[in-house]
Structure 1
Amino acid sequence: MPHLSRRAFLKSSVIGASCAAGAGLGVRWPQAFAGPAPIELKPRPTDARIFGEIPTKNVFTYGEAPGAMPPVLRLKRGDPFAARLVNQLDEPTTIHWHGLRIANKMDGVPFLTQPNVSPGRSFDYAFTPPDAGTFWYHPHCNTLEQMGHGLAGVMVVEDPADPVFDAEIVLNLRDWRLGGNGQFISQFKPREAARSGTFGTVRTANWQVEPIYDAPSGGVVRLRIAVTDVTRILQLKLEGAEAEVLAIDAQPLPQRVPLDLLILSPGQRADIAIRMPAEEGRGVTLTDHRPSTPATVATLRSVGPSLNHALGDVGPLAPNPQPEFDLSSATEIPLLLSATAEQAAKNSICGSLGYSFWAINKVPWPGDTADPLAPIEELKLGQSYVLTMKNVTPHAHPIHLHGMNFTVLRSTREDAPKLTSDTYLIFPDETVQLGLVADNPGDWVFHCHIIEHQKTGMTGYFRVA
């Protein structure tokens, strides 16, 4: 869960109904719209111009056109959606629909919810999204390599009652591990996997370095951000316009938050309303300030005569329905996030990096219990639980839960906002309590979304029955 300024959080005003794309200025990425027939998603290798003049070889995409990034999928809340995965890679893959609360058999985790999809084979996904907001989709097989090579796309679930923005811009934020010749280098270094993770060498938004998008002067833009990187935690600021955070991880905030500093980790998403400058040609710059030197992520440029709109002109976002948490009957589950002294390879969920550096409750996946593949805990369907999670490592960990949401109850970090989410960024030495209603039956993965941490031990699953 991202860091939001407590001062800004308390200053904000109450809102509450979801937003749709308006004029669509600046929308230059491929999109696929859900219909009655299945959308075909064909993961395959391609050449793409990411950095410099030399195309990068062996980039992975779901896109149809050569060099195109994965399409933005557009669904509607409450409408059936179907997708057929046709594997055109030379290795197995799956699709995980990150953040969606759907049936377990559609969750895309090999050996836990479905079989691997081998090269040349297909798998049909079908579900009805219960929530509106910004989500994303990616493989859950050989994840570091496949996601590291580009296989991650944004998914927008619209609400039929969405208010209208003057424009919408979607940003798929990710790094690439490229050498000076523009070609891939090793996706990780063991010594970095044992720390905060191996960072990319080239930062992009929508597979471009510092792209510029046009938006109507004086208009209100909905900026949808998804951090699809395997490692980087971002500290985002906006320069040149006033803006408010509307939703985090697809969940509308109970109060609008002026955008001051927004920390987003791998797996997280944010919806932001930006009031563009009235003067044509003026730019609005999204910058990342982590670790120290600011880096430009993307720029929005005002075009056309001013619309003279204000942030308050946009209607509120409707909250997604959540199960009712009962603290009085909740069972506590302790979760200790730590390093492990074991260095031997552990075959994690669909693959291993050949090392064990991290653990949950002192056990690196797949563990040292009598049944090493047992769940972290067996949860009773419909019951409330408090996940008391303690991070005793010197590194932050974005912890993601499949298939369900949790709500922050309390934290030793004073400025942790009490939000509902599917991903919580836990800081070093922090202890947080997350309220969870086990309302979705099945085996649900729980893991760090710094993929090197996941693949070297910090992963497991809950069984809900």
Structure 2
Amino acid sequence: MGGTHPFEKGQDPMINRRSMLTGAGAIGGLTALGGLIPAWAHSGSPGIPPAMNTLSSNNIALTVGRDRFSVGGRTGKAITINGTLPAPLLRLREGETFRIAVTNTLDEDTSIHWHGFLIPFQMDGVPGVSFPGIRPRETFVYELPIRQAGTFWYHSHSGLQEQIGHYGPIIIDPATPDPVAYDREHVLVLSDWSFENPARIMNQLKQEGGHYNRQKLTAPGLASDDPEQRMTLGERLRWGKMKMDPTDISDVTGAIYTFLVNGHGPKENWTGLFRPGERVRLRIINASAMTVFQLRIPGLAMTVVNADGENVRPVDVGELQISVAETYDVIVRPTADQAYTVVAEAADRSGMARATLAPRMGMSAPVPPLRPRPLLSMEDMGMGGMQGMDHGGMDMDMNMRDPANVPPDVQVGVGVDAIAPSPQDRTGHPGLGLTDVGHRVLTYRDLVSLKPNPDRRRPSRHLEINLTGNMERFMWTLDGRKFSQGMEPIRFARNERVRVTMVNNTMMQHPMHIHGHFMELVNGHDGYHPLKHTINVLPGSKVTFDMTADNPGDWAFHCHLLFHMHAGMFNVVTVRPLDGEPK
């Protein structure tokens, strides 16, 4: 449909709240922004009270367009929603139905996917799978019956638009009293921004997979005491023989990325306010294209209360790893009249996003230096189950390419450079470089659903999905096949209960996301497995989940690293029969 928004006259007045900060006159002497920031994301935010109406009417109008965005003294081209980056905060309510009219003013197709929503597949927003997309100068009306609560987000599923600003946060308030008590809340949207055109980034990765890695091991480093250079000559030679790099942790790095909190760069220091003694709920969303963050608040413990929009039993931690597309809600209780730095390091330690929690504007806390970047290990090569063997004399290159190791469903070709010989369950692992940091780090095994799992049936079958790729050629596949090669969809019968094991044969972590369903992460808490829409699969590991295929339709299943998905790590899950079809 074309023309104006059907809700234009009656839209919520918050829709057009936007502000441009220019020059050097920002409050408290903070570096000013040249981009458009939504009201909820302004630095010095007093918080988002639960009753605050922020695009929360049942009829909402959104416009996708192009704007200029500035950070760190430079200005680039962005895709925005209602003129802001990040997009407006949507505050919805469980049990109600919302109609959201999205108008496309771009010269290319666009879309909005409601990440983690349990909605009819026609409203899921994936072009070519659930709908045709939104063409230029047309409007599409999403009708969303809301049957869940928690912290979620929305983003484009068209091209590489996520990389240049097409994302925003969502809070769904529960229909019943919230079991999480808090006095104030802030939304923290983490993201990665580059002034390079995303198509150029993709081309560079295809030409040279490690193009953006500026932290490779050096020859002089052999004689250095630098912890970032630790590795013997023999170990380096074995890595070289395998054509692999132990520093290859992130495909796109701080070499070209500025890491943002609510659209603010590290020097711009987004600040969220609190009163000492309050319970402050931080709703943390990783809306980045390619960056896994490791988040901590020095001097302030965090209590994790929600993961991917689902409540979990509270667990106290000093740090957590949040992969692309995941969300975590944490409670912090600052009692002192002082500022605290929110540190979100990129997993490869090539940069950080930074923010501040403080009682008053103008306050700040020390910003710790970046920690030494980690190196990949035998576990990350899928050799964790071979500990104690003489790896010095082992031909690891042959071991990882031995045809005898290839699972029967994997198509071996140029798109598969290795098969993990002994992948292990690493759900108890805190994340790369976080095993010895001196404080407790959240692991997947710490997550326990607050409510019993709704379907207690035993799975009727077991499915294995292999995450495969060729890192040197930047080819990413499922079972050795790219989506563009005409893969067969993954088929589930409606209401079928299935156990799925994802095996990561690569040395990259992959945040795997399924649309329209939640995955019950099998982590040792039988009957109370955490429900997740995105599961990060560590290098050389395997992760198992149970799923009840109770939402009929065609659903995307893919790695949420944007460039991995576009390089081929994508498939369709089909659940049949549809409503009205014979069984």
* TM-score category (smaller protein): 0.7 to 0.9
Contact 2:163 2:198 in 1 (8 A): no
Contact 1:131 1:320 in 2 (8 A): no
With the length of structure 2 as denominator, give the TM-score of the two structures: 0.63
> Aligned with 2:522: secondary structure?
strand
> Aligned with 1:148: secondary structure?
helix
Q: Using the alignment, how far apart are the partners of 1:185 and 1:218 within structure 2?
A: 48
Contact 1:323 1:439 in 2 (8 A): no
Counterparts in 2 of 1:210-359, with a 5 A limit?
210-253=269-312, 255-279=313-337, 281-288=338-345, 290-292=347-349, 295-303=352-360, 323-327=454-458, 329-339=459-469, 357-359=475-477
1:49 pairs with 2:105 = no
1:297-326: CA deviation from partner (whole Å, max 9, x where unpaired): 21100249xxxxxxxxxxxx9957854042
Contact 2:300 2:318 in 1 (8 A): no
Contact 1:63 1:71 in 2 (8 A): yes
* Pair 1:186–1:289, CA change in 2 (3 A): closer
> Aligned with 2:90: secondary structure?
strand
Contact 2:259 2:353 in 1 (8 A): no
Contact 1:447 1:459 in 2 (8 A): yes
1:153 pairs with 2:172 = no
Aligned equivalent of 1:4: none
Report % sequence identity: 27
Deviation at 1:291, TM superposition (A): 2.5
Q: Using the alignment, how far apart are the partners of 1:325 and 1:46 within structure 2?
A: 49
Aligned equivalent of 1:311: none
Contact 1:283 1:300 in 2 (8 A): yes
Structure 2's unaligned 5+ residue stretches are 1-44, 212-247, 362-447, 577-583
Contact 1:215 1:301 in 2 (8 A): yes
> Aligned with 1:239: secondary structure?
coil
One-letter amino acid of the structure 2 residue matched with residue 391 of structure 1: N
1:69 corresponds, among 86, 89, 93, to: 86
1:396 pairs with 2:526 = no
* Pair 1:187–1:358, CA change in 2 (3 A): same
* Pair 1:237–1:289, CA change in 2 (3 A): farther
Deviation at 1:69, TM superposition (A): 3.0
With the length of structure 1 as denominator, give the TM-score of the two structures: 0.78
One-letter amino acid of the structure 2 residue matched with residue 358 of structure 1: W
More helix by proportion, 1 or 2?
Answer: 2
Contact 1:340 1:362 in 2 (8 A): no
* Pair 1:243–1:48, CA change in 2 (3 A): same
Q: Which moved more, 1:397-406 or 1:214-223?
A: 214-223
More strand by proportion, 1 or 2?
Answer: 1
Aligned equivalent of 2:519: 406
Aligned equivalent of 2:264: 208
Q: Using the alignment, how far apart are the partners of 1:193 and 1:323 within structure 2?
A: 44
One-letter amino acid of the structure 1 residue matched with residue 72 of structure 2: F
Choose 1 or 2 for highest CA Rg.
Answer: 2
One-letter amino acid of the structure 2 residue matched with residue 108 of structure 1: G
Q: Using the alignment, how far apart are the partners of 1:405 and 1:106 within structure 2?
A: 17
Contact 2:306 2:328 in 1 (8 A): yes
Aligned-pair RMSD on alpha carbons?
Answer: 2.9
Q: Using the alignment, how far apart are the partners of 1:100 and 1:294 within structure 2?
A: 31
> Aligned with 2:303: secondary structure?
strand
1:207-264: CA deviation from partner (whole Å, max 9, x where unpaired): 10231221112111000011011100111112122220111111111x2111222111
Contact 1:387 1:435 in 2 (8 A): yes
* Structure 1 moving runs of 4+ over 4 Å: 317-322, 340-343
Contact 1:231 1:451 in 2 (8 A): yes
